[in-house]
Amino acid sequence: MPQFKEVSTQSGLHPKPAGLVLQYGTAGFRTNAKQLDHIMFRMGLLATLRSKKTKATIGVMVTASHNPEEDNGVKLVDPMGEMVTPTWEGYATQLANAEQEDLLAALQDIIEKEAIHMSQEANVFVGKDTRSSSASLSQAVLDGVSALGGHSKDYGLVTTPQLHYMVCCQNTQCKYGEATVEGYYKKLCQAFIQLTKNASNCTDDQKHLTVDGANGIGALKVREMESQLKKELHISLFNDGSEGKLNHQCGADFVKVQQKPPTGIKMNPGERCCSFDGDADRIIYYYTDSEGKFHLLDGDKIATLISTYLKELLTQAGLDLEIAVVQTAYANGSSTNYLENTMKVIVRCTKTGVKHLHHAAQEFDIGVYFEANGHGTVLFSKAAEEKIQQLAENSNINDERKRAALLLQNTVNVINQTVGDAISDMLLIEAILAIKGMTIQQWDAIYSDLPNRQLKVKVSDRRVIDTTDAERRAVSPAGLQEAIDSLVKNYREARSFVRPSGTEDVVRVYAEAETQESADALARDVSLAVYRLAGGVGGEPKPLH
């Protein structure tokens, strides 16, 4: 095949270290940047094949999200801005691990399996984050695309959600929006400004938000967008990348795990603060109270705020649309209880991992999904969007219904439905708080989290643990679930589950109960059961206190 001649020549410039094996996981490929040059070239090849197969534009994002600065990674974006399909994740792994001399055979294998017409035109959008390694690695992707005769558009520095957005815009013939960074700011900011017109007399204090940009791409993009917010939101930006290290003691992951504010940020008691992660696809909120105590509002709290707001608007608009919140087993029991029993919202539980949540959210008219780590968004079905649109344009309805319909319409436009997006989620949360005239303390008080604890148990082989019921029950090894059930009975308002890690030989244990002591004790009891029944290695789990 003549087009392989160029692949052969170019791949010599991006050689694979012999014996190196990497796996395409939920987050694509992610490892030390020095090991990724050949991977990037080959993902350029794969994206070109995927584009020919789908007859659509495909995205390639160079980022390692919340990982340390010396790492990098890459993930592919499918035509509607969603993650690439599992079959193609398999091809990515296969292509990445083919030794230098087997690369052409591996390509040929994918072309034959997928019956790809190589004469079909291919288009690939490429974006990168602010890591020092991203420039040369994204160039390797572009080399891969051109080696197979594909067309590429290099967006340069963008957040991961922005690239997902561009791909979706391009493949909907710009019905979703304009496939430029300016188009993205314009759509989101205009919707935000329309929403905040419904906020009665907001003071400048209430419009103020402190943002931790994780010293990453999100900080740059907030700076670019600021002027378009027309002073409806006053942002104080910290960790903006001018001096600190990416994700080092800052960012959403650090704040969530350490349960404390990031370094390099000035916080006054009661002030709203939020943190993005390194590629701006996660967000979490927090504040300190008058006693200096730190309060975290994670993905569960965000999903609750958004779904409550949407449910109220649907009622006011008189729209009969089914709204659901999709959670994982890690969602705090208090949030599930509040949503089901107080708000009467459907709650669906899925396996851990964004793609499972996204998929489940698509089954409803409106699906709100957030992982506890702050990654999430809202999906509206085509039918739901049409009903909202029709109502907003209907001149024969009363003022209350009209107002609610217009709010819903602008809410749809402020949301990036392709993927979790810190900037879009921030604007949505800020608009909701303004419209409802709510402080962060009032939002936090909607429900109180049950104390919880997460532990890890080292095992010789994590595959001995098999789960069911969205990872909430263990089916093997024998006797483990019975042991967990009887341990849970010893504590009030308690629950616990175990699941194998996706990346290392450890079993993750989650426990929650009425008090922190109980949650800690239950987590340790369950860890001990896992250690004894599932082949624990090293010393027995010790008491936490």
Active-site residues, by number, are 65
Looking up tokens 């000035």 gives 266
503 labeled part of a ligand binding site: yes
282 labeled part of a ligand binding site: no
Spatial separation of the C-alpha atoms in residues 240 and 223, rounded to whole Å: 9
Short-list 195, 194, 170, 193, CA closest to 183: 170
272 labeled part of a ligand binding site: no
CA angle 406, 412, 413 (to 5 degrees): 95
Q: For residue 100, how far is the Cα from the chain centroid?
A: 34
54 labeled part of a ligand binding site: no
277 labeled part of a ligand binding site: yes
212 labeled part of a ligand binding site: no
261 labeled part of a ligand binding site: no
500 labeled part of a ligand binding site: yes
Residue 483 neighbours by CB under 8 Å, 6+ apart? 526, 529, 533
109 labeled part of a ligand binding site: no
Do residues 95 and 11 touch, judged by C-beta distance below 8 A?
Answer: no
373 labeled part of a ligand binding site: yes
Whole-number Cα distances in Å, 158 to 167, 301, 342, 358, 422: 13, 27, 40, 22, 13
Spatial separation of the C-alpha atoms in residues 163 and 160, rounded to whole Å: 5
Short-list 367, 371, 329, 330, CA closest to 354: 371
508 labeled part of a ligand binding site: yes
50 labeled part of a ligand binding site: no
Q: What is the 3-state secondary structure (H, E, C) of 269-312?
A: CCCCEEEECCCCCCEEEEEECCCCCEEEECHHHHHHHHHHHHHH
Short-list 111, 110, 127, CA closest to 119: 111
239 Rama class: left (phi>0) / alpha (psi -120 to 50) / beta = left
Do residues 373 and 338 touch, judged by C-beta distance below 8 A?
Answer: no
| Binding-site residue positions | 65, 277, 279, 281, 371-373, 499-503, 508
| Binding-site residue positions for Mg(2+) | 65, 277, 279, 281
| Binding-site residue positions for substrate | 371-373, 499-503, 508
